[in-house]
Structure 1
Amino acid sequence: MEGDGIQVERRDEIAALNSSADEVSHLALDIGGTLIKMVYFSSDSDWPVDDEGKRSSKEKGSKNCNFVNGRLHFMKFETRKINDCLQFISSKQLHHYGGWHTEAPVDCKNIIKATGGGAFKFADLFKEKLEISLDKVEEMDSLVAGANFLLKAVDREAFTYMDGEKEYLQIDHNDLYPYLLVNIGSGVSMIKVDGDGVYERVSGTSIGGGTFWGLGKLLTKCKSFDELLELSHQGNNRVIDMLVGDIYGGMDYSKIGLSSTAIASSFGKAISENKEIEDYRPEDVARSLLRMISNNIGQISYLNALRFGLKRIFFGGFFIRGHAYTMDTIAVAVNFWSKGEAKAMFLRHEGFLGVMGAFMSYPNNGLDHLMSKQLVEQLPKSACCPKHEARSPLLGDLTENGSIECSVQLCL
């Protein structure tokens, strides 16, 4: 369900977490200019705990198999409503360590990992309101670490989208690098990734999600990004955009490979029509705006991939939000400019790359540490870890309430 500008879990999940706050651990934040992204882990109290405080299997003969079992929760808040985020953290006592690492030093119990510009901007606010110290993690480091982890650890994380068809990709871990990571937040960063912790920000553009929301708010009076995105779904950009066919009497410009339906000028028809903004449907304005920004990002991304001979372009960031029209527009732009040689690839957990990287940066306790030991999908509670193979820890897509259930099992 959704509250006032805040996404929360179902009521039964809230009750369960509130009744066992000491089982919640590993809170991390990515505080951006538009959105705050949050990841935290809650362990499953159904698993027995041995004398040393480790969760262990119920199965006889499995003393060597200890588990950390639970859920990874993904949340988001509007940055302008940061007090909602603070209230949520306080209500669940998320800033107090618990779960499997209760041995954390006392002086570390109110220190949480945070990335993004807001980790600096709002550091004093977190200290004042919650007595939390933000341990700042470098933003680009976090983005790359989060993307690399998700691409390696999560089955069916990456997919292509064209003409309404989604195709999941099998990522070869030995042939992942190099690739171009395009993170579309308020602005856009384009990062050439050559390995774990090896990257270079090669380009970017100020025309991103903040542009879409900012112009959309001014032009349509929408109150939120999601409202604007939904509005665009109902619109027709051809009412406002000038097409090649509008210039050439409905004909293609085949000599240079432009179809009659290609956009010659975004918002171009507004020049020749004697109309005010009130004369246009907000739906059409939103659609044209989304098309303009998505096309631009797709084109610039491909041109940067071309600079470095990169065939893989992964798009992340909360601008996309799994929106079909956005993905299709970006994919068409990449396909057009590359003449079909490159494909746009999208990520299921697109908006949580940075916060996942921050989450993994907890020394000897983060998800990266768990992966180095043994991380497997959820097993029946009577079974132990079968073989030493890492499988996807994240099960399913984000739910409407903003959380995702996963199993994180540590097999020693």
Structure 2
Amino acid sequence: IEENGMSDMVGGVWFAGRSFLGLSKLLLGTDDYDEILELASKGKRNSVDTEVKDVIANDPNSPYGQFPPNLPIFSFGKVIDTDKKLSDLSREDLANSLVFSFAYNAFSQLALVAQTSKVSKLYMGGNFFRHELIRSEIVKTMRLFTGDAIAVNFVKTGHTGAIGAMISKPEDELKYLAFMQQAEQQPTQGASS
């Protein structure tokens, strides 16, 4: 939002809400948001995710060594590195890994948009961000990678889209539709004919 009140949609998180619930249903057997976050709050992702310390143990000169040892760098990476199967992992640990994966994905996309658009304040809304665990993961990761360069604010309402629709002007809708049409016309990498 500019000082003159004009606003533009500069991006969004496409891999969030329903994707999170869908993967949770496949991996955890539930798509209940509150249950997933309750499980995640009891879990530890270090039995599922590859962390910096795991990479450094195999390669002390890895460029990942500049990051905190407990930082997950490959979600679900230990599944590849070990003989673990889904049945070997606790629902709590899987849920914790999922939450971090989605929170980190949100951070990555939003930080990139903020930096390329020269935006210093991000406002996130919607039900996906309503739980403190997700918000704290995003803020912690944002501070690690961007310091205080980008301020993160959460709009605590599940009706953020409705509010945006209510205050937008008809030309805003046309900009959004043009943005979506342009996104649909982008060639898919790796697609075969």
Matching residue's letter, 2:68: S
Q: Does the 8 Å CA contact 2:20/2:102 hold for their aligned counterparts?
A: yes
How far apart are the structure 2 equivalents of 1:360 and 1:265? 40
Residue by residue, what CA displacement relative to the aligned partner does 1:250-274 show, whole Å, maximum 9, x if unpaired? 9796786312112221110000221
Q: Provide the aligned length of Structure 1 versus Structure 2.
A: 167
The higher radius of gyration belongs to 1
Residue by residue, what CA displacement relative to the aligned partner does 1:157-176 show, whole Å, maximum 9, x if unpaired? xxxxxxxxxxxxxxxxxxxx
**Structure 1 residue 273 corresponds to structure 2 residue 93:** no
How far apart are the structure 2 equivalents of 1:339 and 1:252? 25
**Structure 1 residue 249 corresponds to structure 2 residue 57:** yes
Alignment of 1:77-92 (within 5 A): none
How far apart are the structure 1 equivalents of 2:49 and 2:139? 19
- The residue that corresponds to 2:99 in the other structure is 290
Matching residue's letter, 1:289: L
Matching residue's letter, 2:71: A
SS in structure 1 of the partner of residue 7 of structure 2: strand
- The residue that corresponds to 1:226 in the other structure is 34
What is the CA-CA distance between 1:356 and the residue it aligns to? 3.7
When residues 308 and 206 of structure 1 are mapped into structure 2, their CA distance, relative to the original with a 3 A threshold, is closer
What is the CA-CA distance between 1:202 and the residue it aligns to? 2.1
User: Of Structure 1 and Structure 2, which has the larger fraction of its residues in helix?
Assistant: 2
Alignment match of 2:159 (pick from 327, 343, 352): 352
Residue by residue, what CA displacement relative to the aligned partner does 1:256-311 show, whole Å, maximum 9, x if unpaired? 63121122211100002212211110111011011011011112111111112111
Where does the alignment leave 5 or more consecutive residues of structure 1 unmatched?
A: 1-176, 179-193, 362-412
Alignment match of 1:309 (pick from 89, 93, 118): 118
Between the aligned residues of both structures, percent identity stands at 27
What is the CA-CA distance between 1:319 and the residue it aligns to? 0.1
How far apart are the structure 2 equivalents of 1:221 and 1:331? 28
Where does the alignment leave 5 or more consecutive residues of structure 2 unmatched?
A: 169-193
What is the CA-CA distance between 1:203 and the residue it aligns to? 2.3
How far apart are the structure 1 equivalents of 2:163 and 2:112? 28
- The residue that corresponds to 2:147 in the other structure is 339
Q: Does the 8 Å CA contact 1:253/1:259 hold for their aligned counterparts?
A: no
Residue by residue, what CA displacement relative to the aligned partner does 1:5-63 show, whole Å, maximum 9, x if unpaired? xxxxxxxxxxxxxxxxxxxxxxxxxxxxxxxxxxxxxxxxxxxxxxxxxxxxxxxxxxx
How far apart are the structure 1 equivalents of 2:16 and 2:55? 28
How far apart are the structure 1 equivalents of 2:124 and 2:8? 16
When residues 261 and 227 of structure 1 are mapped into structure 2, their CA distance, relative to the original with a 3 A threshold, is same
When residues 255 and 240 of structure 1 are mapped into structure 2, their CA distance, relative to the original with a 3 A threshold, is closer
User: Of Structure 1 and Structure 2, which has the larger fraction of its residues in strand?
Assistant: 1
SS in structure 1 of the partner of residue 15 of structure 2: coil
How far apart are the structure 1 equivalents of 2:55 and 2:166? 52
When residues 302 and 359 of structure 1 are mapped into structure 2, their CA distance, relative to the original with a 3 A threshold, is closer
When residues 230 and 357 of structure 1 are mapped into structure 2, their CA distance, relative to the original with a 3 A threshold, is same
When residues 330 and 252 of structure 1 are mapped into structure 2, their CA distance, relative to the original with a 3 A threshold, is farther
How far apart are the structure 1 equivalents of 2:118 and 2:125? 20
How far apart are the structure 1 equivalents of 2:14 and 2:160? 20
How far apart are the structure 2 equivalents of 1:296 and 1:313? 15
Matching residue's letter, 1:353: T
How far apart are the structure 2 equivalents of 1:285 and 1:344? 26
Q: Does the 8 Å CA contact 1:302/1:337 hold for their aligned counterparts?
A: no
What is the CA-CA distance between 1:212 and the residue it aligns to? 1.1
Q: Does the 8 Å CA contact 1:335/1:343 hold for their aligned counterparts?
A: no
Q: Does the 8 Å CA contact 2:52/2:65 hold for their aligned counterparts?
A: no
Q: Does the 8 Å CA contact 1:315/1:350 hold for their aligned counterparts?
A: no
SS in structure 2 of the partner of residue 199 of structure 1: coil
Residue by residue, what CA displacement relative to the aligned partner does 1:45-83 show, whole Å, maximum 9, x if unpaired? xxxxxxxxxxxxxxxxxxxxxxxxxxxxxxxxxxxxxxx
What is the CA-CA distance between 1:205 and the residue it aligns to? 3.9
* Aligned-residue CA RMSD (Å): 2.5
**Structure 1 residue 236 corresponds to structure 2 residue 44:** yes
Matching residue's letter, 2:79: A
How far apart are the structure 2 equivalents of 1:307 and 1:356? 26
Q: Does the 8 Å CA contact 1:317/1:350 hold for their aligned counterparts?
A: yes
